[in-house]
Structure 1
Amino acid sequence: MQHESKYLTAGIPGTGGVIKETPEDFVVEEIPAYLPSGQGEHCYAVIEKRGIATLEALRRISRALGVQERDMGYAGMKDAQGLTRQTISIPRVSPDAVRALQIPGVAVLSAAMHGNKLRLGHLKGNRFTVRVRSVAGNAPALAEETLEIVRRRGLPNRFGVQRYGVQGNTHLIGACMLRGDYRAAVDTVIGDPKAVADERWRLAIEAYHRGELAEALSLFPPHFRVERDLIDRLLKRPDAWQQAFNAVQPRMKRLYLSAFQSFLFDKVLDGRLDTLDRILPGDIAFKHENGACFIVQDAEVEQTRADSFEISPTGPMFGCTMMEPSGEQLELEQGVLEAHGVTRESFALPGALRMDGERRALRVPVSETVVQGEGENLVLSFALPRGSYATSLLREIMKVE
């Protein structure tokens, strides 16, 4: 189950290069959905974090202020690898107290009160400034050529490999869960020794796959809690694979399932790249203004709305109650499910693991694009709507997986 995928701009050579060599090479700034009113019990703080993830920043701030982390809010998760500016909400603290914080890796840029807790998704999008180092000599011209196509046709709304974890395999675990193959699920959580560089970690994985569970347990460092819990259960009850897999927290299980949903979406997207900006009979279309979806009745009529980027065709975040298209798009989606050994009904797992599914736009608009060449470096600035990934645009420009 490989990740290789196609390019919308395959006819244009890539710039090559590398990203994220320093946090300052990858700058992200949230575009808020609204600004704080100045009244209320939640302090909205714009923070700048460097080299740490959003949840780690929240942990540090909650400890410094004596506030419960669960009562704090944020609009979007931001990568640890970069310099990111985002808004968080903190209940029942004064803006002065927040502005006075001195926390490693976190700077408070502004603070003001508002009436409600900030919720996931409460943002319009993100602005990015990315430095790509060691690019080809004609990189600015190649980037402009790529961007011209992307601005006109839309950016493939790809998830990409960042959804698949450190070993690039979280989607494989989700697939095993849906197929009820818990031995394969456990094996995949433990991982592939070829996918890790750390020697002790690699030796632990090799011992597990040789069946030497006690040795594997002794080799896995203490912070590998999931792996250690799985092996500990197998030592007590060999071959009880499903019971062993129950050592994994429900939150992680949902993450695995979500990664597989993302993988399948990208596979459907690959099948629609040639008609990414076309509305086909039977499509389910996405309204960019409000996120609503509707079944296309007349593809010709709706194409004029697609040409002005009012709407776009959608792909599946597969689930057991997801709205289904018809025609060619339904055939494509059913083919992807069959190729990976699952059905829509597979997602009807018990309890909190049930995945209902939803539709996601196959393309998104890119705005505020600026390209600058600086010697062997390329500096790109652009804005994307929420839920879309900068890496989707960078892979089109760089042509580097």
Structure 2
Amino acid sequence: MANKLAYPYGVALINGHIKAQASDFRVTEELGFQPTGEGEHLFLLIEKSMMTTHELIEHVAHDFSIKARDIGYCGLKDKLAVTRQWLSLYLPGQMHSLKLASVADYHLLDHKWHNKKLRPGTHRSNYFEVVVRDVESMPEITRRQLDMIRQQGMANYFGEQRFGRQGDNVEQAVRAFNNPRRARKLSRTKKSLYLSALRSFLFNRVLSKRIEQGIWKKPICGDVFMLSGSQSIFYEPINDELLERYNHQDISSTISLHGAGNRLLQSQAREIEDAVLAEHEAIGLCLLQAKAKLQMRATRVAVADLRVEFDKSEQSLYIEARLPRGSYFTTLLEHFIDTGRGK
């Protein structure tokens, strides 16, 4: 299914390749809080490479002689990368007696005790250090695009990961949910994966349509807003104070993650969503039949600590950036460089 998206600062003029090797893509998960230092959950900061988060969990479960279901995590990290992420291990009564296991397949960097298990989305942000190879030039337009990202943030598109390795999760989901017998046999994990792909696709289409219509720098009538760094949403008529907060990236407009529930957007904002839902009616019906719960997602996110250096002799870009949880580094790249991914 075609998924060409519009970006707010124009078309990317340069090309490059990411993940030529695992060390080109480094990610550090940032909790955003300090563990209590006591409790039944051992937090481990682990560096891994060439394994998925689920594979890591299986290794850790084996090494600490516990069940995989007793291990918590914040987010799934790339396989072809060097990633640092936190896991929590449920180890009741072992805080004063536990000796850390000797491990071979990953590196233990830190450990702390806490009174709660880690859950997906618990962390605050991810810090990226990435090398993009085969970049021939760094034109002034690209530098201006980067400046605009710093000033106005990036479009909060879901990344290619949401749509499967072959990019066909949406098509597979529609076929599955339109076959009652097959839908009943879906595992909980597969059903969740399919619902995420469908909601992400609709969100991306609505956001792209807004950008195509020039709706980016300012909110529009009927928007619902989200506070930066939180999931708190509110409605307020557009006024000078709200516009100032919007310009400072304190708040953002939102778009529905489609599902059952009272739709919050009104007027012009609602009309844009309605147009996309009408175009992709089968997807909307699948989500309603599967009883997905309506949620909201911000249209943009601030990109903190963005640094980009171009090495002409190496034909490489060296990029550092901090993104809030739930946002995608590959989406950031698409604002100014074509890496050939997600096409």
1:298 CA drift (Å): 3.0
Bigger radius of gyration, 1 or 2?
A: 1
1:254 CA drift (Å): 2.2
Contact 1:45 1:98 in 2 (8 A): no
Contact 1:320 1:344 in 2 (8 A): no
CA RMSD between the two structures: 2.1
Q: Report the counterpart of residue 369 of structure 1 in structure 2.
A: 306
Q: Report the counterpart of residue 236 of structure 2 in structure 1.
A: 296
- What is the letter of the counterpart of residue 195 of structure 2? L
1:384 to 323, 328, 338: 323
1:300 CA drift (Å): 4.4
Pair 1:72-2:71 in alignment: yes
SS of equivalent to 2:51: coil
- What is the letter of the counterpart of residue 117 of structure 1? K
1:69 CA drift (Å): 1.0
Q: Report the counterpart of residue 207 of structure 2 in structure 1.
A: 269
1:53 and 1:94, CA in 2 relative to 1: closer, same or farther beyond 3 A? farther
- What is the letter of the counterpart of residue 329 of structure 2? A
SS of equivalent to 2:107: strand
- The unaligned stretches of length 5 or more in structure 2 are none
Deviations 1:169-195 (A, max 9, x none): 1012233455x3x3xxxxxxxxxxxxx
1:345 and 1:170, CA in 2 relative to 1: closer, same or farther beyond 3 A? closer
Contact 2:176 2:183 in 1 (8 A): no
- C-alpha separation in 1, matches of 2:96 and 2:217: 46
Sequence identity (%): 29
- C-alpha separation in 2, matches of 1:63 and 1:381: 34
- Higher helix residue share: 1
SS of equivalent to 2:335: helix
Contact 2:174 2:283 in 1 (8 A): no
Q: Report the counterpart of residue 119 of structure 2 in structure 1.
A: 119
Deviations 1:12-43 (A, max 9, x none): x4321100111111100011121222211211
1:258 to 196, 211, 214: 196
Count of residues in correspondence between the two structures: 334
- C-alpha separation in 2, matches of 1:308 and 1:54: 35
- C-alpha separation in 2, matches of 1:57 and 1:256: 24
1:301 CA drift (Å): 4.0
- What is the letter of the counterpart of residue 383 of structure 1? R
Relative contact order higher in (CA < 8 Å, ≥ 6 apart): 2
Deviations 1:82-132 (A, max 9, x none): 11101111121559957443132x111011211111122111111101100
1:7 CA drift (Å): 2.1
Q: Report the counterpart of residue 44 of structure 2 in structure 1.
A: 45
Pair 1:338-2:278 in alignment: yes
1:361 CA drift (Å): 0.1
- C-alpha separation in 2, matches of 1:44 and 1:340: 43
- What is the letter of the counterpart of residue 264 of structure 1? L
SS of equivalent to 2:274: helix
- Higher strand residue share: 2
Deviations 1:182-219 (A, max 9, x none): 3xxxxxxxxxxxxxxxxxxxxxxxxxxxxxxxxxxxxx
SS of equivalent to 1:121: coil
Deviations 1:282-332 (A, max 9, x none): 101111143211123235442111011111101111011153211111111
1:51 CA drift (Å): 1.4
- C-alpha separation in 2, matches of 1:129 and 1:82: 10
